[in-house]
């Protein structure tokens, strides 16, 4: 099933609770929460206290995208704050296998994100332990960037890589997704769609509806 995961990075932070309620009521099944540390990526966004307070506003799936160096230091804290899925970057983990086990020990779903330049083959030995793979379709760090076209081919490659191994795990795509490219992205193999700017600009509830119409 295809699902939408609106990225709150594009929301109005001065009324975050209301914005989250609006997209929840519009039917978005996931909430994409971008945590940035100013080290792995240039920006600093928000962290654990924000997730804790949002947890009181919605029971939707919290899809927490950690763009932080050495995420092992904070896995337990993000799990306790209310994350359902914890995504770590391949490029930010010194010992990826250990980090994945830590997330599983917290009882949370595990996702590994790959930057645009990272090949899908790096996941060979950990794929069995993953619930989802996140393909970055922009270089992480900012919302509102342009979708990088070669990542479509990468999505196709990953879908084959997974099915060749007799598996069926979620593929999430993140960065520059909009109503004009989402159908091609789904055709290429993604089934969890992150969209920030394209959901939070203008009529949010209608944008969620328009995405789900295209994602059928």
Residues placed in the known binding site: 7, 32, 34, 65, 141-144, 174-176, 196-197
174 as an active site residue: the answer is yes
Decide if residue 92 touches ligand 5RP (CB under 6 A). no
Cβ distance to ligand 5RP smaller for residue 34 or 37: 34
Decide if residue 58 touches ligand 5RP (CB under 6 A). no
Site string for Fe ion, 171-190 (x = CB under 5 A): ---x----------------
Beta carbons of 103 and 82 less than 8 angstroms apart: no
Environment class of residue 121 by beta-carbon count within 10 Å: exposed (0-12), middle (13-18) or buried (19+)? exposed
Q: Which of 19, 34, 170, 172 binds Fe ion (CB under 5 A)?
A: 34
Decide if residue 63 touches Fe ion (CB under 5 A). no
Residue 76 phi, psi dihedral angles, 5° rounding = -60, -40
Half-sphere exposure of 12 (CA within 13 A, CB side): 9
Q: If you write DSSP's letter for every residue of 58-82 in order, what string do you get? A: --SEEEEEEE-SSGGGGHHHHHHHT
* Both structure tokens of 31: 């909430």
Q: Which of 12, 34, 128, 184 is catalytic?
A: 34
Q: Which residues bind ligand 5RP (CB under 6 A)?
A: 7, 9-10, 32, 34, 65, 67, 138, 140-145, 174-177, 194-198
């Amino acid at each position: 099933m295809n699902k939408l995961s609106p990225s709150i990075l594009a929301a109005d932070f001065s009324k975050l609770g209301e914005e989250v309620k609006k997209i929840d009521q519009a039917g978005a099944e996931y909430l994409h929460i971008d945590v940035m540390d100013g080290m792995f990526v240039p920006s600093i966004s928000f962290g654990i206290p924000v997730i804790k307070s949002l947890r009181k506003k919605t029971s939707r799936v919290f899809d927490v995208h950690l763009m932080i160096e050495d995420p092992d230091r904070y896995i337990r804290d993000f799990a306790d704050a209310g994350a359902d899925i914890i995504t770590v970057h391949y490029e930010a983990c010194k010992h990826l296998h250990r980090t994945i086990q830590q997330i599983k020990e917290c009882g949370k779903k595990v996702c590994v994100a790959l930057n645009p330049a990272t090949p899908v083959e790096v996941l060979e030995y950990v794929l069995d332990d993953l619930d989802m793979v996140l393909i970055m379709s922009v270089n992480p760090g900012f919302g509102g960037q342009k979708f990088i076209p070669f990542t479509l081919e990468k999505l196709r490659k990953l879908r084959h890589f997974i099915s060749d191994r007799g598996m069926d795990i979620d593929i999430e795509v993140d960065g520059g997704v909009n109503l004009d490219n989402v159908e091609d992205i789904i055709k290429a193999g993604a089934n969890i769609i992150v969209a920030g700017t394209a959901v939070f600009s203008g009529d949010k509830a209608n944008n969620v509806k328009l995405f789900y119409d295209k994602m059928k």
